[in-house]
Amino acid sequence: MATLCRPAVSVPEHVITMQQTLDLARTIHADHPQLQLALRLMENTGVQKRHLLRPIEETLRHDGFDVRNRIYEAEAKARVPAVINRALEDAELRAADIDVIIYVSCTGFMMPSLTAWLINTMGFRSDTRQVPIAQLGCAAGGAAINRAHDFCTAYPEANALIVACEFCSLCYQPTDLGVGNLLSNGLFGDGLAAAVMRGQGGTGVTLERNGSYLVPDTEDWIAYDVRSTGFHFKLDKRVPATMEPLAPALKDLAGQHGWDASDLDFYIIHAGGPRILDDLSKFLGVPAEAFRFSRATLTEYGNIASAVVLDALRRLFDEGSAHPTARGLLAGFGPGITAEMSLGRWTVSDRASERLGTRVIADVPDRALAEEPTRVG
């Protein structure tokens, strides 16, 4: 069965704290009639800092959608290869061993996809399949995991590469004064992640089942309004309460597999905001501590869209607490309202068992470079 190996994660070098975000909002939107509401919503996100692609002065400027999209392409090409190389290293594979690249992003557009450029420049085979996903938003991280699982189930000896590249700061809209958009200015951050799913061998989460669920008649709750200025984020005030209809879908998936969603060993959940995690804790009947990996991502990086699930999973690896055969749930949530869910067990490869015993060791300092805020070129 296919095993999802340790993700590599990178965030840009420019940092903005929540206090700086609040001060900027007070300065830029001093006359906004709902400023106090927006400030309160930002503070309640639990985000302490976020990483941005460019300095805040440049982020606040809008030089046009075309300029922003050129920045997206240039920065993706500059930064994605490093996380891919680290993910391949952690999976003990080479680029030539990869059979499909699943690339997810909702913050920029390229055609051909970045996958074509990666194949041409990084040593992937010319017959590597390409699966770019652009319109699932934050749920795309979970969808990429599921599509990689499907591929490796169909081709048991194949290996899949998942790449998430999200530069949310390129979607900042200075003239969009809706409360939902103002909230997004204090919630979303920039980040990249990559992970390999091995059809055979590997240490990580061996997937056993996946599923999707869409909450009926909610397609306009999270959306982009695409204008000449680019992507304008639309967020309905009902979104934070979506765990009430989605929690049963998680329970159903686990039940189909003979598992109890309230009695698992680890939970890797997309952290759209603290209310999502708090409600899921309540509806699943699990302690808040169960979502510590997702909450840490939210606190330290903000909502990095499709990369959240991979970063939360990386934190499970780095904590080193998962025991062999530990059972867990992974889930990404996003526009639709959509849930992409999977179930799996922690597995240690025979080679890793010989080398490390039955515990994944903590990272040594040089390995942590992939998680440091740095520009790679």
Enumerate the active-site residues. 138
> What is the C-alpha to C-alpha distance for residues 78 and 86, in angstroms, rounded to an integer?
15
Question: What is the residue whose two structure tokens read 């080193």?
Answer: 320
> What is the C-alpha to C-alpha distance for residues 170 and 167, in angstroms, rounded to an integer?
6
Which residues have C-beta within 8 Å of that of residue 237, sequence separation ≥ 6? Answer: 180
DSSP 8-class letter at 80: H
> What is the C-alpha to C-alpha distance for residues 180 and 167, in angstroms, rounded to an integer?
18
Angle between helices 35-43 and 18-28 (to 10 degrees): 170
> What is the C-alpha to C-alpha distance for residues 321 and 328, in angstroms, rounded to an integer?
13
For residue 327, the cross-strand partners are 345
> What is the C-alpha to C-alpha distance for residues 186 and 170, in angstroms, rounded to an integer?
14
The answer to whether residues 275 and 308 touch, using CB atoms and an 8 Å cutoff, is: no
DSSP 8-class letter at 27: H
Angle between helices 114-121 and 65-91 (to 10 degrees): 50
Question: What is the residue whose two structure tokens read 């509401």?
Answer: 37
Whether residue 361 has a cis bond before it, omega within 30° of 0: no
Q: Give the total residue count for the chain.
A: 377
Collapsing DSSP to helix, strand or coil, 162 comes out as strand
The answer to whether residues 317 and 86 touch, using CB atoms and an 8 Å cutoff, is: no
Burial of 76 (0-12, 13-18, 19+ CB in 10 A): buried
The answer to whether residues 235 and 180 touch, using CB atoms and an 8 Å cutoff, is: yes
Rg of the Cα atoms in the chain: 20
Helix (H) or strand (E) holding 234: strand 230-235
